[in-house]
Amino acid sequence: MQQSALFKTAQLGPYTLKNRIVLPPLTRSRSSQPGNIANDLMATYYQQRSGAGFMVTEGTQIEPRGQGYAWTPGIHSAQQIAGWRKVTEAVHAEGGVIFAQLWHVGRVSHTSLQPGGQAPVAPSAIRADSVKVFIETGPGAGALAEPSMPRELTTAEVKELVQLYAQAARNALEAGFDGVELHCANGYLVNQFISAHSNRRSDEYGGSLHNRLRFLREITEAVAEVVGKERLGVRFAPLFATTDEDRVYLGLVEEDPHRTYVEAVKVLEQIGIAYLSLAEADWDNAPELPENFRQDVRKVFSGRILYAGKYTAERGERAIEAGWGDLIAFGRPFIANPDLPERIANGWPLNPVDPHTMYGGTEQGYTDYPAYRA
Ligand SMILES: Cc1cc2nc3c(=O)[nH]c(=O)nc-3n(C[C@H](O)[C@H](O)[C@H](O)COP(=O)(O)O)c2cc1C
């Protein structure tokens, strides 16, 4: 097993990864309150998982308006940067490579999470449906809620947001991260600009696909200026719906996902970023990514391609051997198995994940999953 495709080293920008097993971004909602600050418990959690060849943090909001769920960490205040430094130091002590996932939820938020109780911001004033946010109802207590009606960003505000991404990237470097990943998936802000259903703008950020990809292009360029394109990744979640139920994903619909995302990937290729992360639909009976889409992505993108979504070690190996993927992320298996790479290498059994302790809470279901004892 040691010689399997997952355990071959890989080059990612300037980093030689010890294996191709990735800890994907996983929101766990355990930052310190008040202030949404990364803490010692989070440092322990990431350190436990540093057997991964490559790690990406949970989504971390780039500014106060970027938050859509209580207790998620931010990367815009001095305390937050200091908190993240604990995480990067703990991971680096184990020889790990870790990028910060820069997140802005846009309209997937609630007035109670917004500065001054204002409306969330979005490309257009269209409310997200079929998705819930998570709000605090008391210290340590919370509840799911409908997203609030957003207000449309002015053109000048969109340009300011591009600068907020660049600033968050500077903060990530200050916190000791090895690079950053832009969260452009799952119906959040960047995805809201890309989809014609959530973007009805009449300025240069709306209308044609070229215009709807402008925000993506500008933030990717601005962040590449800060961290270097070789330390930059972008995450998409293209959805190829086959049923009406699937068609609405986190409140977003994509009419022509193949064309939309191949064009989006071309934007990234022009900038020359290190990797593309593709999050596949991960619910039961979720639609598969079409083979020709995977191949077209490979054709237009020369960087590393990372896949996530219900992968087993065997399926991940096949993806690498077949040539359409370079790195494979394991989400829920990594939550429950801090020593996942070692377990895969040795064929050891996996702990099952407890869905009740995924978001929020203490060390229970977070840092207390046991490593395998032979
Ligand atoms: C608890 C949980 C939190 C997640 N948080 C994020 C996140 O912050 N950012 C993101 O891009 N994806 C997030 N995802 C998606 C995962 O990165 C991954 O794509 C997904 O879990 C599928 O992989 P799996 O089937 O191996 O779990 C999350 C998934 C789970 C289960």
Nearest CA to ligand 1 atom 25: 310
**In the structure, how many helices (H) and strands (E) does the chain have?**
12, 14
Asked if 274 and 179 touch (Cβ cutoff 8 Å), the reply is yes
Catalytic residue positions?
188
Strands 304-308 and 327-329: parallel
Residues with CB under 6 A from ligand 1: 24-27, 58-59, 101, 183, 185-186, 235, 279, 282, 308-311, 330-333, 358
Question: What are the beta bridge partners of residue 276?
Answer: 234, 305
Residue to probe by mutation, ligand 1, list 27, 188, 334, 344, most atoms within 8 Å of CB: 27
The residues, ordered by sequence, that sit 6+ positions from 204 with a Cβ below 8 Å of its Cβ are 155, 211, 214
Contact present, 155 and 125 (Cβ < 8 Å): no
* Domain assignments of the chain as residue spans, ordered by start: 5-357
pLDDT recorded at residue 250: 63
- In the chain, which stretches have pLDDT less than 70? 1-3, 247-251
Strand partners, 235: 183, 277
Closest Cα to atom 4, ligand 1: which residue?
Answer: 26
In terms of Cα–Cα distance, which of 364, 359, 367, 366 is closest to 68?
359
**What is the whole-number distance in angstroms between the Cα of residue 25 and the centre of ligand 1?**
6
How many CB atoms are located within 10 Å of the residue 64 CB?
14
- CATH class name, domain 5-357: alpha beta
Report the chain's terminal Cα–Cα distance, integer Å.
17
Q: Which atom of ligand 1 is nearest to the CA of 183?
A: 11
Distance of alpha carbon 277 from alpha carbon 297, whole angstroms:
11
Q: Which residue lies with its CA nearest to atom 6 of ligand 1? A: 26
Answer whether 0.75 is exceeded by the pTM: yes
Nearest 5 degrees, angle CA 96-CA 316-CA 195?
A: 90
CA angle, 234 then 268 then 273, to 5° = 70
Q: Tell me, what amino acid is at 49?
A: R
Query: Whole-angstrom Cα distance, residue 258 to residue 267?
Result: 14
Contacts of 202 (CB under 8 A, 6+ apart): none
